[in-house]
Amino acid sequence: MTLDMAKLEPLLGKMVVELGAASNGALVVIGDKLGLYRALAAEPMATSALADRTGTHERYVREWASAQAASGCIEYDAATERFSLSPEQAAVLADEESPVFMVGGFHSLLAIYADEPMLTAAFKSGKGIGWGEHCNCLFCGTERFFKPGYSGHLVSEWLPALEGVMSKLETGARVADIGCGHGASTLIMADAFPKSTFVGIDFHEPSIAHSRKAAGGRANLQFVVGRAQDFGGNDYDLVTIFDALHDMGDPIGAARHIREALAKSGTLMIVEPAAGDSLAENLNPVGRVYYAFSTSICVPASLGQEVGTALGAQAGEKRLREVLREAGFTRVRKAVATPFNMVLEARP
């Protein structure tokens, strides 16, 4: 076999980058857990000072910081031998309130690697893997990954893009948040619109238990265990689904039940990962991330439920419109989009 070196060398270079990214993923989690990023965001320091500040062992910290600097996650000043974070690095790695905080995604990766044997077996059997079967770090990681985007866009951009919804929320609306998980999206809405009432619904009981603790006795908010296909209540002014429709085994059945539970003038808002309608359109850095998580988490979750439609995280607007129209919605439009999400508005 003769290899074309002009093709081989770039591929090997790419694999070195891939291996470096994969091997540093756990180090990002460690830097977050131990407060290393937060300490460096406060001021530049040598690894001895960083270890003292965080209560860690200097030799471990020195190697961690070297790997992070080589990855471009932190800065290194050779003249002073001190490490630091730029404002941009701090926004991505150290500031949990930042709309571009990305560390949660790396926490989710721990579950993907821990559950690899289970996924390998599923490839052979075709069986699904339920959310509750995964390592617990998936749930906390998912919340921390999506929450910054919701905090940055939901109240300021996404809800205002819906027709007539803001006025209802401000005066008092009935809202159901389906597939709420740990309740980040529900809590954000409940705090922003105190005159409206919100119910977060998820079929995963441990997630609902977590959400109830996070609710802290808010009078306009409750969390209940339920399925998208048959949750309770009716005459909702707004029903929301955040990054969860593609995980459902029966998205058409879920959307059909939502339509029946909406008030006549009600609205369904669906937030889904940004995607084009063809594979070729999604062969980019964002699509790469979503396809990877979809292979490990989303498709197995759907295949583990009844029907098992397995839309996948890159279903695209056209396919999602088909689901909604088959469920009986007559008006569907893309209300707004970001580089990572698209927001669909559907009405009966």
Pair 188, 120 in one domain: yes
Q: Would you place residue 183 in the very low, low, confident or very high pLDDT band (cuts 50, 70, 90)?
A: very high
Output the pLDDT for position 1: 81
- Among the candidates 95, 112, 146, a domain finishes at 95
Pair 294, 145 in one domain: yes
* Alpha-carbon span 198 to 215, nearest angstrom: 11
Pair 310, 172 in one domain: yes
Over the stretch 82-94, which tens digit does the pLDDT of each residue have? 999 999 999 999 9
Q: Would you place residue 245 in the very low, low, confident or very high pLDDT band (cuts 50, 70, 90)?
A: very high
- pTM for the whole structure: 0.92
Pair 39, 111 in one domain: no
Q: How many residues does the chain have?
A: 348
Over the stretch 152-181, which tens digit does the pLDDT of each residue have? 999 999 999 999 999 999 999 999 999 999
Output the pLDDT for position 29: 97
Over the stretch 117-162, which tens digit does the pLDDT of each residue have? 999 999 999 999 998 899 888 988 999 999 999 999 999 999 999 9
Pair 237, 343 in one domain: yes
Give the H/E segment covering residue 341: strand 341-347
Structural contact between residues 154 and 185, judged by C-beta atoms closer than 8 angstroms: yes
Q: Percent of the chain having pLDDT more than 90?
A: 96
Pair 161, 275 in one domain: yes
Pair 37, 163 in one domain: no
Q: The CATH number of the domain where 298 resides is what?
A: 3.40.50.150
Over the stretch 278-288, which tens digit does the pLDDT of each residue have? 999 999 999 99
Pair 210, 305 in one domain: yes
Q: 338 lies in which domain range?
A: 104-347
Output the pLDDT for position 244: 96
Q: Would you place residue 63 in the very low, low, confident or very high pLDDT band (cuts 50, 70, 90)?
A: very high
Pair 35, 16 in one domain: yes
Pair 298, 332 in one domain: yes
Output the pLDDT for position 182: 95
pLDDT value at 61 more than 90: yes
Both tokens of 251, joined, read 């998205």
Q: The CATH number of the domain where 70 resides is what?
A: 1.10.10.10
- Among the candidates 62, 78, 95, a domain finishes at 95
Pair 252, 141 in one domain: yes
* Alpha-carbon span 254 to 256, nearest angstrom: 5
- Among the candidates 95, 115, 150, a domain finishes at 95
Structural contact between residues 269 and 242, judged by C-beta atoms closer than 8 angstroms: no
Pair 151, 246 in one domain: yes
SS3 203: coil
Q: How many domains does the chain have?
A: 2
